[in-house]
Amino acid sequence: MPPVATGGPRTLLRRLREIMAEQTSAQMRLDKLVTVIAANMVAEVCSIYLRRAGKALELFATEGLNPAAVHRTRMKAGEGLVGLVAETGEPVNLSDAPSHPHFSYRPETGEDPYHSFLGVPIVRGGQVFGVLTVQNRASRQYAEEEVEALQTVAMVLAEVVAQGGLFNVAELDEPDLSPERPRKFRGEGLSEGVAVGHVFLHEPRVLVERMIADNPQEELIRLETAIGALRDSVDQMLDSSELDLTGESREVIETYRLFAHDQGWRQRMRDAVRTGLTAEAAVERVQDEMRLRVSRLNDPVLRERAHDLDDLARRLLRHLSGDGNKAANMPKDSVLLARAMGPAELLDYRRDHLHALVLEEAATTSHVAIVARAMGLPLVSGVDEITDAARAGDLVAIDGESGEVHLRPAEEIVAAFEAKRTLRAHRVAQYAEVRDLPAVTRDGVHIRLMMNAGLLLDVPHLHESGADGIGLFRTELQFMIGETMPRLSDQIEFYSQIIDAAGDKPVVFRTLDLGGDKVLPYARWEREENPALGWRAIRIALDRPALLRYQVRALLTASAGKVLRILLPMVSDVSEFNQARALVDRETERMRLLVLPQPRQVLVGAMLEVPALAFMLPQIMRSADFVSIGSNDLLSLAFAVDRTNPRVARRYDMLHPAALTLIRQIVRSATEAGGEVSLCGEMAGRPLDAMALVGLGLRTLSMSPGNIGPVKMMIRSLNYGEVSQFVERLCGRADHSLRSRLAAFAAERGVVLK
């Protein structure tokens, strides 16, 4: 029979609290902790390993191993069983540790006699601070309740370590664990602009100060009461909110409702309370465990659901603490920080109080990035761990072009950013001067500059930016920010508002581009191994033709008496386009037979994002009225690169010779077939990239409205004949990127790139 613990977890937690309250040295308290834990767990060994520089794990205290090994034994990241626990963030429970492939023998510890091993991570805020282990000579598997008890102790220990309850965290020599020092982060600039302001945390973390429960039964009642209040508040939000694209959006509320009523989540928190934790600590522990598991998955859908659970846990903590939503009290110079958020959540914040946005996770083409650009907000994404490092009110400076973020910056850094912001404001004034002037090169070639949009609030930028029209209107945003599919009447009203606001300027409506990372909150979606190459866009439309016909019917009605331009996304085959166009024609014929008001003309185009279609331009031009190159997906697929994966995203450049050669071939094939071709994507909005595109023969570019001014100034300073000849020569080179050569050309010819 294996030994059993001499006291329950509540007894152990009481002893831990007493030890932590003692006025002795940190080392003496740690030594007492491992002795008490070992006795309670009936373990012959108990050890605490904490992080040092480079994420190495150092033995800080032990009961049972050689005391001389303390502060001498270190494990590199991922080394040994201790490193495995830290790396995976999961418990390791073994009856014969030496036989495990990760076992690393350390003779100085004297651990030869011990076979059974249980290690759990010391985790707080998604960061692993160390590892807590117990060992025994007998070969046995530790029981589930023993694992649970050790995890509870590790949870409390993590909070104490992180808050400096045992010693100054800076003693760990790990810079990212120090709460005070200035920090510099490097992310990806998704929306240009420079800002200096103070941190405002989106759904800020509630600081859990009381970890150990005095009365577990009372904590269970508090937890149940808070869960009930949370569920009521979510239900009220759903019952009272209406779809409003200007701010009162509910993109994730339906998901919150599902999770709020999830019995498994509730039971895990109840179980944690029963081990002796307070209700708040139980919520934190369950959420930390979930966050660590999901962070190691590559499934973007599951990662998004993890963000939903994070938000839900924070809401529950606020119910427990009695704190309300502080968004209404946002200061006027706020920089919003979040792990991730949806576009509707961003719209909830007051634009006049918001200076910039910093996210840990968001792709260049994500909808929150699109909305941020439409709002003129500087945005930096891919800034790992900044929400854990930042505190509300911290000074922060961000550059949405370079991707730099300085947290708690020095005075000279702030001065440099202020100077850059002033310079940028001067440039904006220069852009305003050319707003109403045509985008014509010095040798008389006219380039049409269109803007991308997806929300009603985008449309005023059409006139503010001087755009020639809307080259890409993403219709899926209207579907994604509601709890149910928009009714036909709602769609008609929405599209009518867009068309009326555009006046005489053209609007190209892209039909629903769903799938991949764009999932409707009210629809069922099957998990796919590679959603970007799976069931999405036109493929969904052809398999669910009623969805496309429903949308086309609304567009036809809204465009009565005008020219309707429809763009079909993700076309990879001519037959796909023909099938989809047949559905459009069917709806047009239906209106004719019913004698309903119709558009003056219906133009249907294909979005070229799949490289295969580039070789079918003559054939597609027989059916399509125009082709629009989606450079983001086209080049991502051509280079086999996931643009949302930071490990590979920077390994290719859109100004690679292969990219320019591919676009040149598309433009030439379309011209020879007598068709119209345009390009929308990141390339179009960067002056240097746009210069290359003009040199390749493109005459229509669609971009974020904020980029139209810089691109127009570039075009008006450019000689088309010169750049055309230069880019033609560059296509034959073998460089990894042509960016520096194009920049040198612009400098020599006086082309304005800023």
Q: Which residues contact 323 (CB under 8 A, 6 or more apart)?
A: 206
Pinpoint the alpha helices (H) of 342-487.
Answer: 343-347, 367-374, 386-389, 411-433, 460-464, 476-480
Q: From CA 234, how far away is CA 254, in angstroms rounded?
A: 8
Task: Considering the candidates 115, 307, 355, 367, report the single residue annotated as catalytic.
Answer: 367
C-alpha distances (whole Å) from 269 to each of 70, 121, 257, 391 are 35, 18, 17, 27
Do the beta carbons of residue 543 and residue 567 sit within 8 Å? no
Q: From CA 470, how far away is CA 454, in angstroms rounded?
A: 10
Do the beta carbons of residue 71 and residue 167 sit within 8 Å? no
Cα angle 309, 314, 317 (rounded to 5 degrees) comes to: 125
Q: What is the DSSP string of 289-303?
A: HHHHHHHT---HHHH
Q: From CA 131, how far away is CA 161, in angstroms rounded?
A: 12
- Per the rule left: phi > 0, alpha: psi between -120 and 50, beta: everything else, 28 is alpha
Q: From CA 596, how far away is CA 346, in angstroms rounded?
A: 39
Task: Considering the candidates 115, 202, 319, 680, report the single residue annotated as catalytic.
Answer: 680
Question: Is-catalytic flag, 367?
Answer: yes
- DSSP 8-state symbol, 446: B
- Per the DSSP assignment, residues forming a β-bridge with 94 are 117
Question: Is-catalytic flag, 680?
Answer: yes
Torsion angle of the four alpha carbons 356, 358, 362, 368, in this order, in degrees rounded to the nearest 10: -30
Q: From CA 348, how far away is CA 740, in angstroms rounded?
A: 41
- Per the rule left: phi > 0, alpha: psi between -120 and 50, beta: everything else, 17 is alpha
C-alpha distances (whole Å) from 701 to each of 450, 468, 653, 680 are 6, 10, 19, 6
**What is the arrangement of strands in the sheet containing 116-124, beginning at the earlier edge strand?**
74-75, 57-63, 45-51, 127-136, 116-124, 92-94
Q: From CA 331, how far away is CA 391, in angstroms rounded?
A: 14
Identify the H or E element spanning 577.
Answer: helix 574-593
Residue whose C-alpha is closest to residue 304's, from 260, 345, 361: 361
Q: Which residues contact 463 (CB under 8 A, 6 or more apart)?
A: none
Pinpoint the alpha helices (H) of 503-558.
Answer: 538-543, 545-558
For tokens 């629903």, the residue is: 512
Phi, psi for 399 (deg, rounded to 5):
-125, 110
Q: Which residues contact 406 (CB under 8 A, 6 or more apart)?
A: 182, 183, 184, 185, 396, 397, 398, 413, 417
Burial class (CB in 10 A: 0-12, 13-18, 19+), 448: middle
- Positions marked catalytic: 367, 680
